[in-house]
């Protein structure tokens, strides 16, 4: 058996619980906020882009329609008409860039500066203006359909271009909208998410830390109590504020219940050891006393030596039995205590009772025996029945006293063994405590007649190990005692 070590249990690191909870909440919050952000961002982006595409396509169509009225003009006339039309819708007012490139003639636009050859403005350097001019000229290369292009001073612009035939003249009409609007919307969404997310994160961290602290507070108290118990003090109990009916309460109740049982078990263990020591010391004291008496006589008569020898032998026999009983009780809780085998009930009991009837002068009776086998440990069963019979013998008158064994079916596969006598019986209030170790109904009873008070405790241990039970009652017609052992595992023949 491993040695029991007393000492402090590893301290529970419950402080980590609060932080872990907070970290988990933060992680979940960040992940879900990121998912929501991506969904919102993407759907807003595609919605705004779709809107811009529809707008520029509509503007292009409108422009083409307006030029359609001049299909019979020369390229110069068409370019003129386009210029007039576009001048009426300046870029500054509509934020829509519109241009017409008439084959063989000029380019008209409601924002002429963007098509190159402008002078530096907005405080730009000549080199910057040159780059812008290159970009502006690039706009003149027709790109039919939707495209995104960088427009000087405006930035990224979604442009739709289409080619229209105005009589013999081919013209490219285009309309564009700056994408800065979309950028601004997306920027706003991002900022809102970051701000709201950060605020929510702080609140969630705080809330989950506090919640973790609240949840772990009783656990920390329990850990403190457990440490005290571990240090050897079985007195402390968990205190839980009244009204709590959650898992913590269940845990605390279970813990307290366990401590109660531990305390009781320790107390019983202590009593057992004290009783056992006392019982063992008594015969030793007797032996020593007798030997001292003998030693005090210089030349003790042979009869005196013989008397002391007999007494010492009797005390040694009693002590040996006591030690055997203690060993049986110590083994009873262990696995392997029983060697179960099929016991043929009838011959087993007949032999046992015949043997017992030779040990004392009583009226031994054996009731009708059932035929069949019982799965039990024959040695332990015999020991239990012998203890019951010995008690009956001890409490009955010599010669006339009745010691009877009745064996009956008790339910499906159970067999009951009742040892009945016609002695003084067992008082009702004693019928339970007699099964406790070292319990005697009459503590003052002389040691010569009684034993240590372990006999019935052993019967109970053997019954329990078999999954059976034992109880005491009154004998026949209200007289004497009846102690009944019931075991499972009977198969009738």
Ligand X SMILES: Nc1ncnc2c1ncn2[C@@H]1O[C@H](COP(=O)(O)OP(=O)(O)OP(=O)(O)O)[C@@H](O)[C@H]1O
**Footprint on this chain of ligand X (rule: CB under 6 A):** 387, 391-392, 395, 421, 423-424, 426, 434, 439-442, 450-457, 481
Lookup: tokens for 166 = 């105005």
Q: Among ligand X, Mg ion, none, what binds residue 421 when CB lies within 5 to 8 Å by partner kind?
A: ligand X
Q: Which of 174, 401 has the CB closer to ligand X?
A: 401
The b-or-e profile of 263-296 (16+ CB within 10 A means b, else e) is: eeeeeeeeebeebbeebeebbeebbeebeeeeee
Q: Among ligand X, Mg ion, none, what binds residue 441 when CB lies within 5 to 8 Å by partner kind?
A: ligand X
Q: How far is CA 278 from the centre of its chain?
A: 47
Q: Which of 154, 462 has the CB closer to Mg ion?
A: 462
- CA nearest neighbour of 159 among 141, 179, 138, 174: 174
From the CB of 10, what's the least distance to Mg ion, in Å?
48
From the CB of 400, what's the least distance to ligand X, in Å?
16
Q: Among ligand X, Mg ion, none, what binds residue 345 when CB lies within 5 to 8 Å by partner kind?
A: none
From the CB of 304, what's the least distance to Mg ion, in Å?
32
Angle at which helices 75-87 and 15-68 cross, to 10° = 130
DSSP H stretches of helix in 344-454: 345-357, 378-394
CB-closest chain residue to Mg ion: 455
Q: Among ligand X, Mg ion, none, what binds residue 453 when CB lies within 5 to 8 Å by partner kind?
A: ligand X
From the CB of 493, what's the least distance to Mg ion, in Å?
33
Q: Which of 66, 403 has the CB closer to ligand X?
A: 403
> Computed from CA positions of residues 397, 401, 405, 411, in that sequence, does the dihedral angle turn out positive or negative?
negative
Phi, psi (rounded to 5 degrees) for 361: -95, 90
Query: How far, in Å, CA of 120 to CA of 127, rounded?
Result: 9
From the CB of 226, what's the least distance to ligand X, in Å?
38
Q: Among Mg ion, ligand X, none, what binds residue 71 when CB lies within 5 to 8 Å by partner kind?
A: none
Q: Among ligand X, Mg ion, none, what binds residue 426 when CB lies within 5 to 8 Å by partner kind?
A: ligand X
Q: Which of 18, 380 has the CB closer to ligand X?
A: 380
Q: Which of 98, 454 has the CB closer to Mg ion?
A: 454
Q: Which residues bind Mg ion (CB under 5 A)?
A: 391, 455
From the CB of 441, what's the least distance to Mg ion, in Å?
11
Q: Among ligand X, Mg ion, none, what binds residue 434 when CB lies within 5 to 8 Å by partner kind?
A: ligand X
Q: Among ligand X, Mg ion, none, what binds residue 102 when CB lies within 5 to 8 Å by partner kind?
A: none
H or E element that contains 161: strand 155-166
From the CB of 17, what's the least distance to Mg ion, in Å?
56
Query: How far, in Å, CA of 425 to CA of 441, rounded?
Result: 11
Q: Which of 116, 451 has the CB closer to ligand X?
A: 451
Within 10 A of 306 (CB to CB), how many other CB atoms are there?
11
CB-closest chain residue to ligand X: 451
Give 428's Cβ-side CA count (13 Å radius).
1
Q: Among Mg ion, ligand X, none, what binds residue 481 when CB lies within 5 to 8 Å by partner kind?
A: ligand X
The answer to whether 222 and 238 have CB atoms below 8 angstroms apart is: yes
Lookup: tokens for 398 = 């010599």
> What is the side-by-side strand order in the sheet with 363-366?
363-366, 402-409, 414-421, 481-488, 469-474
From the CB of 323, what's the least distance to ligand X, in Å?
12
Q: Is 109 helix (H, G, I), strand (E, B) or coil?
A: strand
Q: Which of 179, 461 has the CB closer to ligand X?
A: 461
Q: Which of 292, 442 has the CB closer to ligand X?
A: 442
The answer to whether 33 and 200 have CB atoms below 8 angstroms apart is: yes
Q: Which of 415, 452 has the CB closer to ligand X?
A: 452
From the CB of 388, what's the least distance to Mg ion, in Å?
8
379: left (phi over 0), alpha (psi -120 to 50) or beta: alpha
Query: How far, in Å, CA of 55 to CA of 192, rounded?
Result: 27
Q: Among Mg ion, ligand X, none, what binds residue 381 when CB lies within 5 to 8 Å by partner kind?
A: none
Q: Which of 349, 434 has the CB closer to ligand X?
A: 434
From the CB of 1, what's the least distance to ligand X, in Å?
26
């Amino acid at each position: 058996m491993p040695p029991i070590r007393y000492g402090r249990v590893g301290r529970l690191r419950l402080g980590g619980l609060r932080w872990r909870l907070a970290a988990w909440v933060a992680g979940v919050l960040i992940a879900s906020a990121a998912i929501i952000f991506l969904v919102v961002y993407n759907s807003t982006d595609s919605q705004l882009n779709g809107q811009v595409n529809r707008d520029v396509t509509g503007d292009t169509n409108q422009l083409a329609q307006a030029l359609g009225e001049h299909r019979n003009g020369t390229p110069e006339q068409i370019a003129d008409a386009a210029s007039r039309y576009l001048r009426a819708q300046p870029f500054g007012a509509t934020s829509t860039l519109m241009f017409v490139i008439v084959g063989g003639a000029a380019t008209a636009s409601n924002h002429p500066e963007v098509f190159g050859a402008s002078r530096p403005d907005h405080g730009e350097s000549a080199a910057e203006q040159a780059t812008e001019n290159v970009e502006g000229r690039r706009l003149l290369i027709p790109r039919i359909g939707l495209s995104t292009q960088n427009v000087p001073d405006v930035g990224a612009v979604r442009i739709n271009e289409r080619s229209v035939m105005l009589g013999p003249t081919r013209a490219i009409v285009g309309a564009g909208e700056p994408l800065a609007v979309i950028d601004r919307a997306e920027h706003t969404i991002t900022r809102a998410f970051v701000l709201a997310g950060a605020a929510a994160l702080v609140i969630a961290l705080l809330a989950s830390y506090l919640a973790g602290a609240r949840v772990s507070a009783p656990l920390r108290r329990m850990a403190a109590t457990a440490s005290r118990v571990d240090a050897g003090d079985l007195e402390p109990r968990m205190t839980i504020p009244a009204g709590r009916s959650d898992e913590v309460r269940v845990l605390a109740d279970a813990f307290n219940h366990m401590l109660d049982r531990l305390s009781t078990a320790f107390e019983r263990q202590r009593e057992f050891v004290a009783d056992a020591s006392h019982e063992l010391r008594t015969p030793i004291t007797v032996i020593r006393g007798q030997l001292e008496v003998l030693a005090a006589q210089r030349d003790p008569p042979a009869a005196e030596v013989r008397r002391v020898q007999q007494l010492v032998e009797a005390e040694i026999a009693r002590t040996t039995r006591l030690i055997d009983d203690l060993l049986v009780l110590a083994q009873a809780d262990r696995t392997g205590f029983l060697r179960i085998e099929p016991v043929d009930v009838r011959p087993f009991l007949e032999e046992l009772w015949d043997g017992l009837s030779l040990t004392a002068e009583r009226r031994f009776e054996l009731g009708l025996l059932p035929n069949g086998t019982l799965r039990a440990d024959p040695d332990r069963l015999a020991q239990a029945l012998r203890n019951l019979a010995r008690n009956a013998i001890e409490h009955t008158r010599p010669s006339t006293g009745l010691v009877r064994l009745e064996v009956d079916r008790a339910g499906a596969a159970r067999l009951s063994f009742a040892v009945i006598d016609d002695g003084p019986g067992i008082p009702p209030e004693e019928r339970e405590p007699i099964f406790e170790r070292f319990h005697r109904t009459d503590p003052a009873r002389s040691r010569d007649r009684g034993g240590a008070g372990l006999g019935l405790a052993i019967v109970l241990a053997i019954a329990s190990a078999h999954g059976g039970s034992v109880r005491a009652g009154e004998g026949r017609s209200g007289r004497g005692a009846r102690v009944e052992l019931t075991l499972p595992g009977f198969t009738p023949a």
